[in-house]
Amino acid sequence: LRTTAVAAMNVNLAAAGNLIAGKRFRISDGNKNFSTAKVTVIPPVGHLIGGDPNYVMNKNKQSADFLFYGTSGGSGQWDVQSS
């Protein structure tokens, strides 16, 4: 939930030390303004979201689920499903 004026913002996923495989997080655009105020989702250091260092949400009414798979070779692996 945004607590400041509408503007682009970063959202950090949970810290690596607090994660277990299978943990899921959802981010949704309840105010229908992601097209003008994008949200950049950032995983913990050393983690990737679908192979990328971050994930940008920039469509109105967008919702995304972020699933933590665990670590492999020292890197945390996340999947994202967006609608």
* CA distances, 35 to each of 12, 13, 14, 19, 69 (Å): 19, 21, 25, 30, 29
Reported pTM:
0.87
13/2 Cα distance (integer angstroms): 15
Q: What integer pLDDT is reported at residue 37 of this predicted model?
A: 93
Reported as a single tens digit per residue, the pLDDT across 36-79 is: 999 999 999 999 999 999 999 999 999 999 999 988 777 899 99
Reported as a single tens digit per residue, the pLDDT across 6-17 is: 889 999 998 877
- Which tokens in the block code for residue 45? 């250091």
Q: What integer pLDDT is reported at residue 1 of this predicted model?
A: 57
Q: Compute and round to an integer the Cα radius of gyration of the chain.
A: 13
Q: What integer pLDDT is reported at residue 17 of this predicted model?
A: 79
